[in-house]
């Protein structure tokens, strides 16, 4: 007897499984149209590689993922592509998405298949690639691409491979019936996955409410090392984390994946898909779907081509439309309601419940939480649902996160037991959504702040550099001023009158000379004989003129240099400006000469 562990919480909802296990799996046949959504699992959507009006063969690839994580989509039968358009797809929001619509021609003509007789002779990567090309993604839950899941990170060795046949949700019997009727194919698929992963232990877990399935699997597993383990019925034992706990006593670390503790779970349907892909060369084009609920007369399981509209399956199961009140895709605990039966079966569709109003009645109005704690007793993740609810309702998401909001698996056990009819899971989804939005906004805000800070730093740096240059210039100017002052004193001591106009002209001259001197390396500047005249009486005005003139020249100089370095268009223009400046200098020189005639020449200037 294999040792089993228990997980916390859990509930025992009414099973409603017998109604769909009394009939064998039926083939649903060819509907008028097949609708194949381009996105059938998490990851990147596929892109259509066929055009409208094109004839395709059964098993032909019609959409492929070129960028990102994803697997191709295949034509489930031969026929003509009618359209590639946005149609309602299976999604809780009831949204439309891109779908390829295929009109079957009834011939069911296969394309070339490439079965692999002995996969053991091949490289594992080749087998994984075949699995990818067969379009296989997990058929139990979120539909993670199987080839990626089967190749865990290099440092993660999978020591326990679990085939999840627990099927703990009420109503659903797709895995149960598959195990009863197709146990050999399941074992073949499991063997392929085991060959890829080389685990030490390979377990098929089945809840004890499915004795027929367990017996069939035990028989099929005879002579292999595969263990068939019957686990106690308790929802949600089929949850990946709970099943791992039951079988190994270990827990998947929060935020981690099962491979972190050397475990991998695969679904029963996925095993069959792998077996067919490798051994028969058949891509994933069909799956078993449970059609049940009190609004159908003949509930049971159907093997349906992917893309089969749900209304087609419902009519085959004898839908009594007047009775139908709620249409649930998936189980009654985690499934979502559909607003139309026109949506197609996809790779992850396991069950459709056509429920009457008595069967799944509308919820009672929400009452106040009395903190009775029944939710905490039921929670399989050992959370405090009522506290999470309180914080979610109050918008205190930080506190909700602190109480491990994101460990919630949304199994619905808390809402199920809540005596006040509080839709707890809905509150957690809302809180998670809000936290994700906040995180996205935070990220955006952080980036914006970084950008702003970088800009501020740059501006500040430029300002400092400018300030530094200004100080240098001021210093130079002050030195010149001091010199002139000394000269002026000298001149004043000589008792000579000063012609103001001449003095100004002289100062301009001096400034220009200084400019030329400062920019001596530039070829287009011309050194002038800088001759100074008598000092100016209006010191501040002269100083200002001097600074302005100098900065103007600096700017012009640097602009010209930049322009030359970058081979910009405005080089000519700048050169003209410099030439103009030369003229000004000339004129100033002439004025200086005139002024000289009137005033006493002063000492030589600025070298």
Partner 1 sequence: MALAQQSSPHARKARSTSRLMLWVILATVPGLLAQTIFFGWGNLINVVWCIVIALAAEAAMLSIRKKPLAFFLKDNTAAVTGLLLGLSLPQFVPLWVSAIAVIAAIVMAKQLYGGLGSNTFNPAMVGYALVLISFPVAMTTNWAQPGLLWESAPGFGETLNLLASGQQTVVDGYTMATPLDEYKHKIATHTAAEVLEHPTFGEGIARGWEWVNAAFLLGGLVLIGLKIITWHIPVSMLAAIAVMSLAFGSNPDQYAPVTLHMLAGGTMLGAFFIATDPVSAATSHQGKLIYGAAIGVLIYVIRSWGNYPDAVAFSVLLMNFAVPFIDHYTPPRTYGHHKARRGVPGKTQG
Say how many residues make up the chain. Answer: 607
**Residue by residue, what is the 3-state secondary structure of 405-466?**
HHHCCCCCHHHHHCCCCCCHHHHHHHHHHHHHHHHHHHHHHHHHHHHHHHHHHHHHHHHHHH
Provide the 8-state DSSP code for 120. G
CA distance 237 to 316: 31
Among 43, 104, 170, 307, binds partner 1 (CB under 8 A): 170
**Tokens 């232990």, located at residue:** 201
Shortest distance in whole angstroms from residue 403 CB to partner 1: 6
Q: Which long-range contacts (CB under 8 A, 24 or more apart) does 126-134 make?
A: 127/192, 127/195, 127/196, 127/278, 128/196, 130/277, 130/278, 131/274, 131/277, 131/278, 132/71, 132/72, 133/61, 133/71, 133/72, 133/283, 134/71, 134/74, 134/273, 134/276, 134/277, 134/282, 134/283, 134/284
394 binds partner 1 (CB under 8 A): no
Shortest distance in whole angstroms from residue 422 CB to partner 1: 10
Residues 416-445 close enough to bind partner 1 by CB under 8 A: 416-417, 419-421, 423, 425-426, 429
Strand 326-329 relative to strand 351-355, pairing: antiparallel
395 binds partner 1 (CB under 8 A): no
Nearer to partner 1, 372 or 579 (CB): 372
Binding part of the chain for partner 1, among 414-422, 451-459, 475-483, 580-588 by CB under 8 A, reads: 414-422
Token pair for 575: 């050169």
468 binds partner 1 (CB under 8 A): no
Helix, strand, coil % over all residues of the chain, rounded to 5: 45, 15, 40
* Contact code string over 340-359 relative to partner 1, x by CB under 8 A: x------------x-x-x--
69 binds partner 1 (CB under 8 A): no
Among 363, 395, 433, 601, binds partner 1 (CB under 8 A): 363
* CB 17, CB 174: distance < 8 Å: no
Shortest distance in whole angstroms from residue 145 CB to partner 1: 24
367 binds partner 1 (CB under 8 A): yes
401 binds partner 1 (CB under 8 A): yes
* CB 291, CB 20: distance < 8 Å: yes
Among 52, 382, 538, 590, binds partner 1 (CB under 8 A): 382
* CB 215, CB 177: distance < 8 Å: no
Tell whether 351 is in a known binding site.
Answer: no
Nearer to partner 1, 33 or 241 (CB): 241
Among 384, 498, 517, 556, binds partner 1 (CB under 8 A): 384
Rg (CA), the chain: 41
Shortest distance in whole angstroms from residue 29 CB to partner 1: 24
DSSP 369-389: -----HHHHH-TT---HHHHH
Shortest distance in whole angstroms from residue 384 CB to partner 1: 6
Nearer to partner 1, 383 or 392 (CB): 383
Question: Which strand (E) or helix (H) includes residue 48?
Answer: strand 47-48
Which residue, among 217, 218, 155, 225, has the nearest Cα to 194 in the 3D structure?
Answer: 225
Q: Which long-range contacts (CB under 8 A, 24 or more apart) does 215-219 make?
A: 216/179, 216/180, 216/181, 216/183, 217/165, 217/179, 217/183, 217/186, 217/187, 219/183
Binding part of the chain for partner 1, among 117-125, 360-368, 486-494, 510-518 by CB under 8 A, reads: 360-368
Among 43, 79, 380, 535, binds partner 1 (CB under 8 A): 380
CA distance 474 to 271: 83
Tell whether 265 is in a known binding site.
Answer: no
Shortest distance in whole angstroms from residue 339 CB to partner 1: 6
Nearer to partner 1, 78 or 348 (CB): 348
Residues 321-340 close enough to bind partner 1 by CB under 8 A: 321, 324-328, 330, 332-340
Among 11, 34, 392, 435, binds partner 1 (CB under 8 A): 11
Tell whether 375 is in a known binding site.
Answer: yes
Residues 6+ apart with CB under 8 A from 31: 104, 305, 308, 309, 312
Tell whether 99 is in a known binding site.
Answer: no
Nearer to partner 1, 327 or 553 (CB): 327
Nearer to partner 1, 105 or 377 (CB): 377
90 binds partner 1 (CB under 8 A): no
* Contact code string over 12-51 relative to partner 1, x by CB under 8 A: -xx-------------------------------------
Q: Hey, what's the torsion of the CAs at 176, 181, 185, 187, to 10 degrees? A: 60
370 binds partner 1 (CB under 8 A): yes
364 binds partner 1 (CB under 8 A): yes
Number of residues that bind partner 1 (CB under 8 A): 77
CA distance 5 to 311: 42
Shortest distance in whole angstroms from residue 272 CB to partner 1: 27
Strand 79-88 relative to strand 73-74, pairing: unpaired
63 binds partner 1 (CB under 8 A): no
160 binds partner 1 (CB under 8 A): no
Residues 179-218 close enough to bind partner 1 by CB under 8 A: none
Among 1, 117, 368, 565, binds partner 1 (CB under 8 A): 368
156 binds partner 1 (CB under 8 A): no
115 binds partner 1 (CB under 8 A): no
Provide the 8-state DSSP code for 341. T
Nearer to partner 1, 60 or 374 (CB): 374
Binding part of the chain for partner 1, among 7-15, 198-206, 459-467, 576-584 by CB under 8 A, reads: 7-15
Tell whether 111 is in a known binding site.
Answer: no
Token pair for 15: 């099973």
Residues 6+ apart with CB under 8 A from 411: 235, 236, 239, 333, 334, 380
* Contact code string over 241-270 relative to partner 1, x by CB under 8 A: x---x-----xxxxxx--------------
Q: Hey, what's the torsion of the CAs at 525, 529, 532, 538, to 10 degrees? A: -20
Tell whether 414 is in a known binding site.
Answer: yes
Residues 269-328 close enough to bind partner 1 by CB under 8 A: 321, 324-328
Shortest distance in whole angstroms from residue 9 CB to partner 1: 9
Task: Show binding-site residues for [4Fe-4S] cluster.
Answer: 369, 372, 375, 379, 408, 411, 414, 418
């Amino acid at each position: 007897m294999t040792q089993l562990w228990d997980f916390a919480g859990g509930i025992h909802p009414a099973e409603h499984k017998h109604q769909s296990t009394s009939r064998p799996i039926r083939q649903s046949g060819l509907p008028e149209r097949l609708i194949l959504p381009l996105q059938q699992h998490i990851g990147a959507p596929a892109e259509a590689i066929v055009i409208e009006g094109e004839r395709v063969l059964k098993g032909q690839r019609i959409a492929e993922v070129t960028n990102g994580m994803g697997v191709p989509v295949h034509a489930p039968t031969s026929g003509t592509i009618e359209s590639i358009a946005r149609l309602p797809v299976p999604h809780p929001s009831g949204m439309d998405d891109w779908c390829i619509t295929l009109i079957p021609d009834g011939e069911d003509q296969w394309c070339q298949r490439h079965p692999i007789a002995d996969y053991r002779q091949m490289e594992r990567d080749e087998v994984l690639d075949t699995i990818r090309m067969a379009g296989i993604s997990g058929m139990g839950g979120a539909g993670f691409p199987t080839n990626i899941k089967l190749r865990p990170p290099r440092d993660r060795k999978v020591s326990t491979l679990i085939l999840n046949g627990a099927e703990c949700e009420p109503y659903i019997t797709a895995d149960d019936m598959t195990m009863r009727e197709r146990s050999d194919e399941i074992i073949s698929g499991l063997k392929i996955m085991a060959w890829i992963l080389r685990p030490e232990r390979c377990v098929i877990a089945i809840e004890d409410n499915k004795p027929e399935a367990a017996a069939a699997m035990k028989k099929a597993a005879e002579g292999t090392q595969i263990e068939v383990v019957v686990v106690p019925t308790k929802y949600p034992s089929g949850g990946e984390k709970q099943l791992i706990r039951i079988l190994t006593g270990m827990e998947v670390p929060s935020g981690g994946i099962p491979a972190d503790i050397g475990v991998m779970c695969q679904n029963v349907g996925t095993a069959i898909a792998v077996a067919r892909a490798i051994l028969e060369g058949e891509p994933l084009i069909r799956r078993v779907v449970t059609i049940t609920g009190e609004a159908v007369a003949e509930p049971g399981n159907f093997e349906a081509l992917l893309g089969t509209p749900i209304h087609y399956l419902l009519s085959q199961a004898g839908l009594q439309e007047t009775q139908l009140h709620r249409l649930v895709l998936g189980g009654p605990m985690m499934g979502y309601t559909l607003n139309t039966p026109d949506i197609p079966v996809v790779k992850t569709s396991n069950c459709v419940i056509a429920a009457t109003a008595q069967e799944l009645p509308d919820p009672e109005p929400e009452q106040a939480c009395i903190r009775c704690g029944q939710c905490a007793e039921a929670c399989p993740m050992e959370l405090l649902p009522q506290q999470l609810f309180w914080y979610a309702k109050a918008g205190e998401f930080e506190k909700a996160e602190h109480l491990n909001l994101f460990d919630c698996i949304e199994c619905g056990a808390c809402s199920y037991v809540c005596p006040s009819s509080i839709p707890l899971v809905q509150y957690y989804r809302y809180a998670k959504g809000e936290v994700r939005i906040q995180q996205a906004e935070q990220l955006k805000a952080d980036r914006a702040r970084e950008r702003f800070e970088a800009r501020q730093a740059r501006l500040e740096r430029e300002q400092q550099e400018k300030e530094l240059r200004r100080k240098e210039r001021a210093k130079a100017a002050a030195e010149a001023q001091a010199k002139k002052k000394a000269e002026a004193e000298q001149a004043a001591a000589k008792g000579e009158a000063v012609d103001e106009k001449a003095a100004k002209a002289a100062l301009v001259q001096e400034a220009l000379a200084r400019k030329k001197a400062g920019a001596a390396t530039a070829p287009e500047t011309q050194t002038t004989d800088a001759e100074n005249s008598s000092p100016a009486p209006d010191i501040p005005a002269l100083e200002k003129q001097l600074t302005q003139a100098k900065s103007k020249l600096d700017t012009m100089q640097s602009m010209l240099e930049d322009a030359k370095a970058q081979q910009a268009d405005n080089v000519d223009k700048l050169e003209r400006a410099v030439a103009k400046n030369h003229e000004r200098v000339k004129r100033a020189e002439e004025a200086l000469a005139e002024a000289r005639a009137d005033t006493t020449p002063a000492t030589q200037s600025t070298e």
